């Protein structure tokens, strides 16, 4: 399918409008930042293509723009069967049957009676876009829009872009062929905008963000935090569009923490005068205001703003911001080089204000008074823009009917360079090392504090007016939250929600994708497990529904999905990678005429598990847990099960070289890290686990949360062997672990999976 919304322009070739349509095509693509594909027959089709076949793209287009003229009406009302215009028109009528929203008719030349075909005689055309709004340059035949019609022309383009995007998101994804369908549904674990809405899972975090009962989303690496942003916008686009004017995604990697640290450090002269926390708070306060101005600038440039009393103010803000960012008339705010300047631009605004309005104008006796009176976000922004412009902007932005959802993602990899540089100072400059460590924690804690202040509207000035029309979706990895917890353990005030997948979520994710891939209509009376088994029976009969596993002195039937789940960290990408290995096994078995048995399935999944460990686990944590592979190798060839005392003896001697917020020299913290990463779990006596409040006696972070590790080890003054520590069976084959237990690990029954789904909100995750 087209990977972006598509517009198809239909017109009569003999009409002299091609020059205008070429300009229109160019302007739509430019103003949409090339996120709209415009098909203009002769200029969009390659030489020698089958025009009749290409014209059928109308049926797949999200918006059709028929430019009605007397010549067009003549060709379709008294048709010439082999006319391209008539063939297009037949497809337009067919597309119209799916809904009038797909057709955007334009009266371009002549009056309604002479130009509108009989099938459209009752519709209302856009009569503002006519041949009178443009003219050709006498020198080079370039098309220019008449100045008095320029705003209408921009509004027209914005309307086309919005209609095309709306239709695109209201429809589900259309895959062009079986290969693309398979690739996007089963062979792709990344978020790239090509997942069908019917396959999206509405996690609890979805509703919490849209209702703003939470502003922060916490999750492990690979838990789908970035995919959540796509789901929020696309899963129910119509309702999203009713509430929000725009979703403004900000990439955290654009925020250079080294630059911000240098700026804060230069402003920080004496802790008695200006606490570092206040300067960092100022950074985030100004950052979000500048972002709202930037968002309005983007909306203005793309012609998506209403031409009401606010238009002039927003135009002035756009012009001012472009000037301050050093942009000329040929460079738009949407240019990546401009957008990436914003985080450092905020630091420059702060530095200039501090130097010109605090230091230069304050004598020693008045210094503290000057700071208390003048050093706040309202003054800094008002000085930057001018009092009048900022106040008028705040009033106009605050009058917007719809809100703006500001999302901030990318902290998984953000600040890793900062951490690496900090580590190099450990043995050479302990003071600077401590200062940088403290600042990184403060950087994220300040972000959380400022978002909270915005939502509570604690400023009592123009910032509150702007904040009233902003919602937040800040995506934070678990280890950044851990940093904040070291200073502020009152996490409830941060309004966090978790993005954690239980077994039922993962099974549902897999089933929905498989049903879509094989075009299977689900049966209403079947649960997810039965639907999964049906897929295997009907479409993949080569794969058995269970795998036999030997444990203790007997064989057990291991449900296939549980076996896939067993060799994972309970993340969507792990489940997909494991199942893909089975699909490849089916392909190979057909070519080699092999029968798939338990041994072959196990070998395929063990190889997949090895790839997950190397490429999806060790590689992901290499920039925060520098010797993770070395730590894992310490367990090579050893047992899978340990008493807590024995495990402490082993872990005491293992060095953790990591940049987590914990003191990695302490054994309890080492155990917590391994538990949070999913490397180890706890196994309780089957007769007593319920007394602890757990739903299963085998507890990993991903199924029973953090309570088991805190109750048993972290919050205990003395270690009692109330449980044993077990290594995730995912590592069994790769690290040649000895199975020294008769208990079958990971064979969760259906009753537990359903119970876990019902109780997941009760599990402590952070």
pLDDT-derived band at 499 (thresholds 50, 70, 90) equals confident
Rounded to the nearest 10 degrees, the angle between the axes of helix 311-324 and helix 377-385 is 90
CA atoms within 13 A on the CB side of 677: 25
Quote the tokens at residue 350: 């702060």
Residue 431, CA distances (Å) to 354, 425, 692, 724 in order: 25, 9, 44, 41
Q: How many CB atoms lie within 10 A of CB 88?
A: 26
- Looking at residue 504, what DSSP letter applies? H
Mean pLDDT of 452-470: 93
Mean pLDDT of 226-240: 80
pLDDT-derived band at 42 (thresholds 50, 70, 90) equals low
Structural contact between residues 346 and 287, judged by C-beta atoms closer than 8 angstroms: yes
Quote the tokens at residue 280: 């960092």
Alpha-carbon distance of 398 to 457, in angstroms, equals: 13
Residue 641: helix, strand or coil by DSSP?
A: strand
CA atoms within 13 A on the CB side of 653: 6
Mean pLDDT of 380-399: 94
Which of 46, 54, 50, 48 is closest to 8 using CA atoms?
A: 54
Structural contact between residues 133 and 154, judged by C-beta atoms closer than 8 angstroms: no
Mean pLDDT of 713-737: 88
Bridge-partner residues for 404, per DSSP?
A: 246, 470
Report pLDDT digits (tens) over 95-154: 888 888 899 998 888 888 888 888 887 776 655 566 667 777 666 667 777 777 777 788
Mean pLDDT of the chain: 84
Alpha-carbon distance of 445 to 440, in angstroms, equals: 9
Q: What is the largest CA-CA distance in the chain?
A: 93
- Looking at residue 199, what DSSP letter applies? G
pTM of the model: 0.82
Please list, in sequence order, all residues whose beta carbon lies within 8 angstroms of the beta carbon of residue 512, skipping any fewer than 6 positions away. 198, 199, 201
Residue with the bigger pLDDT between 158 and 720: it is 158
Structural contact between residues 395 and 310, judged by C-beta atoms closer than 8 angstroms: no
Tokens 């048709």, residue?
Answer: 79
Which of 446, 457, 458, 286 is closest to 381 using CA atoms?
A: 286
Alpha-carbon distance of 14 to 720, in angstroms, equals: 89
187-196, 315-324, 453-462, 654-663: segment of lowest average pLDDT = 187-196
Alpha-carbon distance of 707 to 584, in angstroms, equals: 39
- Cα dihedral 198→200→203→208 (10° resolution): -90
Which helix (H) or strand (E) is 7 found in, with range? strand 6-10
Alpha-carbon distance of 306 to 287, in angstroms, equals: 26
Q: Is the pLDDT of residue 662 over 70?
A: yes
Structural contact between residues 191 and 225, judged by C-beta atoms closer than 8 angstroms: no
Which helix (H) or strand (E) is 65 found in, with range? strand 63-68
pLDDT-derived band at 49 (thresholds 50, 70, 90) equals very low
Mean pLDDT of 36-63: 66
Which of 476, 472, 487, 491 is closest to 439 using CA atoms?
A: 487
Residue 442, CA distances (Å) to 269, 289, 372 in order: 17, 20, 21
5-19, 295-309, 341-355, 410-424: segment of lowest average pLDDT = 410-424
Quote the tokens at residue 195: 């997942």
Strand order in the sheet with 698-699: 641-643, 723-727, 680-684, 698-699
Query: At CA 708, angle to CA 707 and CA 714, rounded to 5?
Result: 85
Structural contact between residues 595 and 589, judged by C-beta atoms closer than 8 angstroms: yes
DSSP string, 670-691: HHHHHHHHTSEEEEE-TTTGGG
Percent of the residues in the chain that have a pLDDT greater than 70, as a whole number: 88
**Pairing between β-strand 134-136 and β-strand 106-107 as defined by DSSP bridges:** unpaired
């Amino acid at each position: 399918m087209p990977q972006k919304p598509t517009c198809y322009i239909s017109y009569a070739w003999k009409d002299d409008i091609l020059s205008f349509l070429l300009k229109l095509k160019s302007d739509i693509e430019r103003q949409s930042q090339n996120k709209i594909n415009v098909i203009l027959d002769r200029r969009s089709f390659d030489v020698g293509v089958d025009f009749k076949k290409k014209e059928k793209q109308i049926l797949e287009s999200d918006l059709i723009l028929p430019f009605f003229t007397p010549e067009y009406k003549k060709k379709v009302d008294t048709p010439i069967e082999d006319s391209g215009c008539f063939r297009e028109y037949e497809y337009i009528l067919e597309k119209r049957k799916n809904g009038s929203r797909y057709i955007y008719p334009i009266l371009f030349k002549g009056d309604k009676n002479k130009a509108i075909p009989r099938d459209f005689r009752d519709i209302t055309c856009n009569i503002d876009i006519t041949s009178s709004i443009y003219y050709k340059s006498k020198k080079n035949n370039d098309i220019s829009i008449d100045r008095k019609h320029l705003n209408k022309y921009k509004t027209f383009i914005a309307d086309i872009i919005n209609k095309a995007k709306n239709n695109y998101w209201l429809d589900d994804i259309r895959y062009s062929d079986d290969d693309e369908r398979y690739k996007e549904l089963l062979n792709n674990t990344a978020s790239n905008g090509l997942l069908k809405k019917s396959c999206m899972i509405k996690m609890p975090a979805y509703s919490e963000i849209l209702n703003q009962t939470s502003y922060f989303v916490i999750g492990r690496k690979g838990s789908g935090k970035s995919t959540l942003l796509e789901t929020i916008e696309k899963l129910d686009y119509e309702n999203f569009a009713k509430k929000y004017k725009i979703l403004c995604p900000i990439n955290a990697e654009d925020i250079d923490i080294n630059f911000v640290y240098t700026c804060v450090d230069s402003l920080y002269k004496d802790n008695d005068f200006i606490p570092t926390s206040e300067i960092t708070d100022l950074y985030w306060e100004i950052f979000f205001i500048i972002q709202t101005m930037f968002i309005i600038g983007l909306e203005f440039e793309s012609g998506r703003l209403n031409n009401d009393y606010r238009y002039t103010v927003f135009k002035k803000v756009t012009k001012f911001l472009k000037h301050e960012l050093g942009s000329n008339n040929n460079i738009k705010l949407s240019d990546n080089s401009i957008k990436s300047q914003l985080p450092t631009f905020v630091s420059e605004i702060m530095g200039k204000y501090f130097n010109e309005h605090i230091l230069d104008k304050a004598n020693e006796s008045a210094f503290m008074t000057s700071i208390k009176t003048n050093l706040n976000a309202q003054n800094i922004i008002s000085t930057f823009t001018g009092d009048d412009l900022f106040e008028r902007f705040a009033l106009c932005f605050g009058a917007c009917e719809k809100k703006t959802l500001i999302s901030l993602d990318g902290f998984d990899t953000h600040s890793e360079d900062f951490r690496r540089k900090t580590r190099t100072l450990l043995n050479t400059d302990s003071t600077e090392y401590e200062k940088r460590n403290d600042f990184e924690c403060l950087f994220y804690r300040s972000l959380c504090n400022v978002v909270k202040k915005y939502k509570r509207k604690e400023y009592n000035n123009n910032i509150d007016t702007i904040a009233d029309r902003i919602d937040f979706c800040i995506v934070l990895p678990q280890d950044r939250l851990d940093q904040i917890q070291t200073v502020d353990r009152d996490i409830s005030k941060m309004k966090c929600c978790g993005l954690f997948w239980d077994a039922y979520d993962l099974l549902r994710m897999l089933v929905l994708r498989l049903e879509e891939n094989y075009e299977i209509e689900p049966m209403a009376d079947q649960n997810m497990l039965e639907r999964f088994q049906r897929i295997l029976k009907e479409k993949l009969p080569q794969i058995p529904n269970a795998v036999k596993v030997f444990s203790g002195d007997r064989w057990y039937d291991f449900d296939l999905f549980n076996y896939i789940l067993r060799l994972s960290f309970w993340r969507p990408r792990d489940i997909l990678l494991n199942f893909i290995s089975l699909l490849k096994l089916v392909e190979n078995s057909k070519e080699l005429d092999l029968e798939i048995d338990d041994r072959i399935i196990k070998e395929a999944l063990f190889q997949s598990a090895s790839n997950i460990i190397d490429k999806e686990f060790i590689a992901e944590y290499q920039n925060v847990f520098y010797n993770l592979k070395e730590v894992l190798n310490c367990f090579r060839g050893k047992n899978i099960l340990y008493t807590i005392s024995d495990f402490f003896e082993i872990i005491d001697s293992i060095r953790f070289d990591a940049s987590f917020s914990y003191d990695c020299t302490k054994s309890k913290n080492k155990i917590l890290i391994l538990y949070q990463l999913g490397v180890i779990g706890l196994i309780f006596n089957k007769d007593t686990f319920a007394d602890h409040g757990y739903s299963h006696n085998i507890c990993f972070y991903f199924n029973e949360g953090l309570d088991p590790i805190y109750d048993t080890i972290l919050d205990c003054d003395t270690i009692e062997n109330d449980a044993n520590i077990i290594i995730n069976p995912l590592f069994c084959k790769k690290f040649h672990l000895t199975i020294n237990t008769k208990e079958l690990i990971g064979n969760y029954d259906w009753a537990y999976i359903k119970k876990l789904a019902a109780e997941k909100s009760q599990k402590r995750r952070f």
